[in-house]
Amino acid sequence: MRDAFESGFEQGLEDGASVCVTLDGEVVVDLWGGTDGTGLPWQADTLVNVWSVTKTMSATVMLMLADRGEIDLEAPVARYWPEFGVHGKDAVLVRHVLAHTAGLPGWAVPIEPRDLEDHERMSAALAAQEPWWSPGSRAGYHPITQGFLEDAIVRRVTGQSIGRFFDREIATPLGADFHIGLPAEHDGRIARLTPPAFGIGGDPAAAVEDAEEAALAERVSTSCPLTGDEPNERWWRAAEIPAANGSGNARSIARVHSVLACDGELGGVRLLGTPALDRILEEQSSGVDAVMRYALRYGIGFGLVSPQVPLSPNPRSFWWAGWGGAMSVIDRDARMTVSYAMNRMSSESQDLRAINLIFHAYAALEATS
């Protein structure tokens, strides 16, 4: 693992990065290196925005509430958020939101990034618009909206935002240094991101085979155009953007995910029961994602392994990744997690930095078994 991690720096692929592997809840690999984007060394406690790996933390909140009986994954979202149930959205179930099949991957009226600070406005806009397809009929990645949909449910059920619930009920009990909405006191530990060559819509020169899907992807990306530089600003770090602005590192991601790998309990802290964990693995859709435009298999709250995404040889494994390269795999069969976070966002459609580390982790596990 160390050789594989160092090779990324030797090839000039990294500025700063961290990787962590846990087995049976114990940290067995914990590596970091490079610089934080300001010329200073990446430290053991350096934090970085991990984009959509944040979704795994918000999904854990939703699963905890389902496990406690406070929400029903099969219930209409409108049961908890009555204003939402208009224009056919009474058919949107909670699990549709968690599986990117709700039909609300973007805002019908485009917004500016700074608008994301206003939760009430963002959720009200989503409640008022029509779904872009029949809910549950297809998968289309909800890059930013998923978090606001989940947050609106959590606020109405608990009276807390996802970020506040996560901090009180997950991060603090586990001692996990992960934040959805970063207090200013931690700014000195934040690594500066190097954005990719193009924004969230992807490479404009990439070949397009399906004009309808390309148009949908463009509509999503332009509904809230991001460059990748936003996390370098204080307003972004301070906001709670539950699908995209989590600040952490490989170790803190692994700390939370180890609970999921170890049957819902770690170090005497129980977050979930087995039935809730099993629901993650229930396939919600499989095929070409209408927004991402490549084959994905979705469970509830996470991606599932498939022939197209063979990140694990074990069937009870799930994963997610963040824009630019961050990634984590959770394997309930091996009781293992592999997490990777970095500050140089890749512009390549096939970024292999995390995948290389994941494969080396499995090779090491096989060699010691």
pLDDT tens digits in sequence order for the chain, 369 residues long = 999 999 999 999 999 999 999 999 999 999 999 999 999 999 999 999 999 999 999 999 999 999 999 999 999 999 999 999 999 999 999 999 999 999 999 999 999 999 999 999 999 999 999 999 999 999 999 999 999 999 999 999 999 999 999 999 999 999 999 999 999 999 999 999 999 987 665 555 454 556 777 899 999 999 999 999 999 999 999 999 999 999 999 999 999 999 999 999 999 999 999 999 999 999 999 999 999 999 999 999 999 999 999 999 999 999 999 999 999 999 999 999 999 999 999 988 789 999 999 999 999 999 987
What local confidence, expressed as pLDDT, does residue 212 receive? 76
Which of 280, 227, 306, 263 has its CA nearest to residue 49?
227
Question: DSSP labels for 191-234?
Answer: PPPB--SS-TT--TTS--S-HHHHHHHHHHHHHS---S-GGGSH
**Residue 325: left (phi > 0), alpha (psi -120 to 50), or beta?**
left
Q: CA 227, CA 361: separation in Å to the nearest integer?
A: 32
Q: CA 259, CA 170: separation in Å to the nearest integer?
A: 10
pTM of the model: 0.96
What local confidence, expressed as pLDDT, does residue 200 receive? 66
Rg (CA), the chain: 19
Contacts of 23 (CB under 8 A, 6+ apart): 334, 335, 336, 365
Catalytic: 306?
A: no
Catalytic entry in 7, 18, 52, 286: 52
For 253-279, the pLDDT digits (tens) are 999 999 999 999 999 999 999 999 999
Q: CA 27, CA 134: separation in Å to the nearest integer?
A: 44
Which of 106, 150, 142, 98 has its CA nearest to residue 125?
106
Q: CA 144, CA 147: separation in Å to the nearest integer?
A: 6
Which of 270, 253, 258, 266 has its CA nearest to residue 335?
258
For 111-145, the pLDDT digits (tens) are 999 999 999 999 999 999 999 999 999 999 999 99
Contacts of 350 (CB under 8 A, 6+ apart): none
Q: CA 53, CA 246: separation in Å to the nearest integer?
A: 8
CA dihedral defined by 186, 327, 105, 275, rounded to 10 degrees? -100
State the DSSP code for 14: -
Q: For the chain, where are the alpha helices, taking DSSP H only?
A: 2-10, 54-67, 94-98, 119-128, 145-158, 162-166, 172-174, 211-223, 234-238, 250-261, 274-280, 353-368
What local confidence, expressed as pLDDT, does residue 367 receive? 92
What local confidence, expressed as pLDDT, does residue 368 receive? 86
Instruction: Specify which residues 287 forms β-bridges with.
Output: 296
What local confidence, expressed as pLDDT, does residue 206 receive? 52
What local confidence, expressed as pLDDT, does residue 210 receive? 66
What local confidence, expressed as pLDDT, does residue 348 receive? 82
Q: Give the CA angle between residues 185, 65, 145 to the nearest 5°.
A: 65
What local confidence, expressed as pLDDT, does residue 202 receive? 54
Matching residue, tokens 């690999």: 29
Contacts of 260 (CB under 8 A, 6+ apart): 60, 272, 277, 280, 330, 332, 337
Q: Report whether 330 contacts 361 (CB < 8 A).
A: no
Domain at 2-368, CATH class: alpha beta
